[in-house]
Amino acid sequence: MENVQYSTWAKLFKIHARSHRVSDHIIPPTVGTEKRPQQEEDKELWSTFDATVLQWLYVTISHDFLHTIMEPDTMAMEAWNRLRDIFQDNKHSHVVTLEYDFTHVDMVDFLNISAYC
């Protein structure tokens, strides 16, 4: 559950989605550029593409995360956001912990100055 692994996975997944022209299923469009379908035929195609992206998400994550984010009748963007939130919601608390650890490092805890540095 390392953020570095998530970041790498997310970047690769975005590239994969972009190469198949389905990025709009995981990345919210900017205002005025929404691609939501209007006609029934287009809605069915949108739903098919969304299910494909959701399937890609599910098969590329660990079973632990799969059970955490999987919900009935979910859309790909909802699953994407749930997974993102698992890794990125704790950024502030992680920063506070690292700052605390850093400020409480004592030179006496190390064998020499090189190890301390």
For the segment 54-65, what is each residue's pLDDT rounded down to a tens digit? 999 999 998 888
Position 115 in a domain:
no
pLDDT value for 32: 61
| Residue of higher predicted confidence among 75 and 42 | 75
- Cβ-in-10-Å burial (0-12, 13-18, 19+) of 92 comes to exposed
Tokens in use for 35?
A: 């691609």
Position 103 in a domain:
no
pTM of the model: 0.67
- Cβ-in-10-Å burial (0-12, 13-18, 19+) of 41 comes to exposed
Domain total of the chain: 1
pLDDT tens digit string along 46-56? 999 999 999 99
DSSP code of residue 39: S
Q: Is the pLDDT of residue 12 over 80?
A: yes
Range of the domain at 57: 3-27+39-89
Position 113 in a domain:
no
Position 45 in a domain:
yes
